[in-house]
Amino acid sequence: MPIRVLIIDDSAVVRRMATEALSVDPEIEVVGTAVDPYAARDKITELKPDVITLDIEMPRMDGLTFLEILMQRRPTPVIVMSSLSQRGSEHALEALRLGAFDVLGKPDGSYSFGDLGPQLIQKIKAAASARLRALPPPLKPSRTPGTRPAIAPPALRALHPRSVILLGASTGGTEALREVITHLPPNLPGIAIVQHIPAMFSRAFADRLRSLSSLDVREAVDGDCLSPGVALVAPGNFHLLLDWRADHYRVRVVSGPQIWHQRPAVDMLFKSAKDCGAAPHAVAGILTGMGKDGAEGLLHLREGGAITFAQDEASSIVYGMPRAAWENGGAQHQVSLGRVADFITRQFTSNVASHPLAAHAP
C-alpha cells in the first residue's frame, strides 16, 4: 500500500509542485490537498492520511496552532514547510517541539522548489514508519539575561586538557539534544554538535538551547575556541571540524561535498576529532536520526580510545543512525534518551584513578 499524503498549504503553486514532486515515487500517493487547517480538518477524517505536509503561515489558522490541536486529537506524522527567515526558523523549531516529525526550508519564491522533491520523498517515507512522541509540556526559558539555570556543577576529576564531548543527530535530534543539553552542568568539557538542519535554522536552534540551558550554546563561527561550558552547533550547510591548537581546541567551519547526503555531516566532525588526537579524551555519541551518518566516524573514535554511545531504539524517533553505529561496533553503549546527560556527566565525575579520561591519560 502506498503512503497516503495530505498537503496543506495556502499557495496553489506549492500544492501543485509538491504534488508533482511526490508523484514520481510509486510508493507515495497524494490523496488530497487543502488550502488551510479548516479545509484540512474534514479531509483528515475522510482520507486518513499516513503523513501530512504543513505550511506554517496560513490564513484563518496558523500551522502551529493546527499542529498542536492535531497532535492532541489525532497524532499523525507531520512534515513542516517553513520559510528560511529568522521568524520561519523560530516557527520551525516550535513545530518540532510540538511534535512535527521534521522540517523543510521553503525556498524563496513560490516558483522555486529546487531539490526539495527528493528530500520531501525521503522524509515522508521515514515519517510513515517513525515513532510518534507525546506532546511535551510548554518550554519556558530557564534564564533571563545575566542569569543561569540552577544546575549544581558536579565535582569533576582532574581532566585532561583535551577532554571533549562530541554529539551527532538528525531526524528528531533537535528535541533529543534539548533533552540532553538542558540537563548537563556548565563545568563539563566543551561540546561540539552536528545536527542535520536546514541552513538558516541552526542559529535559532542554538539560541533556543542557550536560553534553556546552563551552557553557553552558540552557532559555531570559524576559529571559535571550544572551552569548558561552551557548546558549539554546526551551522546549517557547513561542516564542523575540530582542531587542536597548542593547548586548546578550535573549530573550523568549512564547505565541501555532502557526506551521506548531509552538510553538516557527523562523520566529518568525528573523523576530524580522531585526526587531531581527541579520541582518547572524548565522549562521543549519536542520537536519533535516519541514515548512517556518524557510524563510521564513531568507530574510528572508539578504536582510538573514546567512550562512545548510541541512543537506544525505544527512545529514538528514528533508529537509523544509532542502529548503524551499534551494528558496526562504533557504539560501546546503548543509552535511553532520558539517561544520556547523566551518562555523559558520569564519564567526567568518576573517581576511578584509571578512568580513560583522567588527566594522566596519554
Rounded mean pLDDT for each run of 10 residues along the chain, 362 residues in total: 95 91 95 94 94 90 93 93 77 92 75 75 92 60 49 72 96 95 94 92 94 96 96 96 94 95 96 97 97 97 97 95 98 97 91 52 38
| CATH for 164-346 (3.40.50.180, 3.40.30.10, 2.60.40.10, 3.30.56.10) | 3.40.50.180
- From the list 55, 207, 267, 293, the catalytic residue is 293
Q: Give yes or no for a contact between 292 and 326, defined as CB atoms under 8 angstroms apart.
A: no
Please name the residues in contact with 54: beta carbons below 8 A apart, sequence gap of 6 or more. 8, 9, 63, 66, 67, 78, 79, 80, 81, 95, 100
Quick one: pLDDT at residue 107?
66
145 burial type by CB count under 10 A (0-12 exposed, 13-18 middle, 19+ buried): exposed
332 burial type by CB count under 10 A (0-12 exposed, 13-18 middle, 19+ buried): middle
Quick one: pLDDT at residue 32?
97
Quick one: pLDDT at residue 138?
53
For residues 55, 259, 270 and 329, what is the CA-based torsion angle, rounded to 10 degrees?
100
SS (H, E, C) 168-219: EECCCHHHHHHHHHCCCCCCCCCEEEEECCCCCHHHHHHHHHHHHCCCEEEE
Quick one: pLDDT at residue 270?
98
How far is residue 318's CA from residue 171's CA, in Å, rounded to a whole number? 7
Q: Which helix (H) or strand (E) holds 274?
A: helix 266-275
How far is residue 76's CA from residue 72's CA, in Å, rounded to a whole number? 10
Identity of the residue numbered 278: A
* CA max distance for the chain: 66
- From the list 82, 83, 89, 170, the catalytic residue is 170
DSSP SS3 for 73: helix
Fold classified for 3-128: Rossmann fold (3.40.50)
Task: Give yes or no: 293 in active site.
Answer: yes
Quick one: pLDDT at residue 149?
56
Quick one: pLDDT at residue 160?
87
- From the list 196, 239, 281, 300, the catalytic residue is 196
Quick one: pLDDT at residue 198?
84
Quick one: pLDDT at residue 136?
54
The reply to whether domains 3-128 and 164-346 share a CATH topology is yes
Q: Give yes or no for a contact between 240 and 234, defined as CB atoms under 8 angstroms apart.
A: yes
Domain boundaries, the chain: 3-128, 164-346
